[in-house]
Amino acid sequence: MNRRLLRPLPGSLLTRRAVCVAAGAVLVAPACRSREAEARRPRPPRANLYACEGCEAIFERRHEDLPQETSIADGAERGERLRLEGVVLAADGKGPAANVVIYAHHTDANGLYSRGTPETEWSRRHGKLRAWVKTGRDGRYAFDTIKPAPYPDRTMPAHIHLTVLEAGRRPYWIDDVVFDGEFAVTPDYRQKQELRGGDGIVRLTRRDGILIARRDIVLEPHDDRH
């Protein structure tokens, strides 16, 4: 499925290498073996990395002033609180990547991209729940938000869209964040993932009563001639 195709619901409906890295956490050997096996799985041919409808939204905020972590949903937003966090790594996976801008957007607790504003096309289509961050020297980023719901037509699992911008390159999307073991995150869904930016299927944990989604990002190798 092309995650950048839009459907006529109240807002837009949009869809998306694995590396055994924990960036400060320790992964047990079976988890490493699992990710290594995933990395060996043949990938489908990729389209142009920069064919990225909606990526324009990443330019809708000044990048100079972006924080390393921010809030997408305030305390009044209905839904279970969730923190999306991780580390952005260089394409070779060997170190953190600084000054990478990440744009995130997702549905509300009803599965809709709701309450968009007339500010821009993408503020209308992506809805209210969206935000921007920029990594520091340690490569870390975080968004505080709520857990999104699947689309009302149940065609997709609950997910968070991520767009990445590296200095001197054009923006590109990476695999959506989806939640392992939940609705529609099936073996078939996993098999179809392109693993852009690393594995987007995350296992939710809980810390201080808040859901934690750990999504480390490996920057994509790409050719700027396209």
d(CA 116, CA 123): 5
Q: What is the pLDDT of residue 64?
A: 96
Query: 197: alpha, beta or left, given left = phi > 0 and alpha = psi -120 to 50?
Result: left
- The predicted pLDDT at position 224 comes to 53
> What is the sign, positive or negative, of the torsion defined by CA atoms of 205, 206, 211, 213?
negative
18 and 35 Cβ atoms separated by less than 8 Å:
yes
What is the SS3 assignment for 121?
helix
What is the enclosing helix (H) or strand (E) of 21? none
Domain spans of the chain?
29-218
**Whether this model's pTM surpasses 0.85:** no
pLDDT tens per residue, the chain (226 residues)?
A: 334 433 333 333 333 333 333 333 333 344 444 444 444 444 444 546 677 999 999 999 999 999 999 999 999 999 999 999 999 999 999 999 999 999 999 999 999 999 999 999 999 999 999 999 999 999 999 999 999 999 999 999 999 999 999 999 999 999 999 999 999 999 999 999 999 999 999 999 999 999 999 999 999 997 654 4
CB 114 within 8 A of CB 127: yes
Q: Which CATH number among 3.10.180.10, 1.10.10.60, 2.60.130.10, 3.40.50.970 corresponds to the domain 29-218?
A: 2.60.130.10
Q: Count other Cβ atoms within 10 Å, centred on residue 106.
A: 28
Give the Cα separation of 90 and 220 in Å (integer): 8
